[in-house]
Amino acid sequence: MRGITQSDPSSPHLICSSTFFAHLLASFREVTSSDQFWREMCYQRWKGKWGFHLRWEKALAVYSNIVGQQQRQNIKECTNFWKSRYFSEERDATRNFIHANELESLVFDFRFWIGQPTVVDDGRIVVKSGLWESASREFRFSRPSHNGGDRPEEEHISVSAYSARGHIVGHPCAETGIECKYVL
């Protein structure tokens, strides 16, 4: 049975291997700390996710502004923007709530569950589900708008940290001024 032996630390083979790995590690660190690397990581991570285009365009706009400011101040490189953005988005993805402005940016397809015409079929009354047809494809929540006076009409009324008050827009009954309280 052969035993495991230690290499002589002064062995040329071990010194060569150590030097190689030190260079490899330095190169790896250089690549993984570059903005180019993290920009590609962001792109690859986000491209299949909901809201990719909005997230990507927003990040590009912020990056462009930062680069513009740095050029005006003669700063050579935008360091760690994309790495910071990557981890910021990863943290944000773990939250279990939605902000009011995010909810208000969404448009819903409103469908009634029941209420479609009933059908008599062989003596049975069949109530058709309304899920086949959209009652409104423009259903969304919105905050009260300014009424032209000095103060906004109950702007940002918060009943608690997780609720807001606003209006429903695009409801199938086409009524205006429907007020709602939504829990976030």
Instruction: Judge whether 170 and 150 are in contact, CB under 8 Å.
Output: no
**Residue range 71-98, pLDDT digits in tens:** 888 776 667 899 999 999 999 989 888 8
Sign of CA dihedral 26, 28, 32, 36: positive
Q: How far apart are CA 81 and CA 36, in angstroms?
A: 10
**Residue range 148-167, pLDDT digits in tens:** 444 444 444 444 566 777 78
**Residue range 109-146, pLDDT digits in tens:** 887 776 655 667 777 777 666 666 778 888 888 876 64
Question: Residue 26: helix, strand or coil by DSSP?
Answer: helix
- What is the layout of strands, in order, in the sheet containing 163-169? 108-110, 136-142, 163-169, 179-183
Q: How far apart are CA 170 and CA 164, in angstroms?
A: 19
Residue 165 phi, psi (nearest 5): -120, 145
Tell me how far CA of residue 45 lies from CA of 15, 55, 94, 144, in angstroms.
Answer: 39, 11, 15, 36
Name the pLDDT band for 13 (thresholds 50, 70, 90). low
Amino acid in the structure at residue 154: E
Map out the domains of the chain as residue ranges.
12-92, 100-183
Strands 108-110 and 163-169: unpaired
Q: Quote helix, strand, coil % in the chain, to nearest 5.
A: 40, 15, 45
At which residue do the structure tokens 């002064």 appear? Answer: 10
The first and second tokens of residue 177, run together, are 């001024």
Q: Taking the model in full, what pTM does it have? A: 0.58
Q: Supply the mean pLDDT for the chain.
A: 76
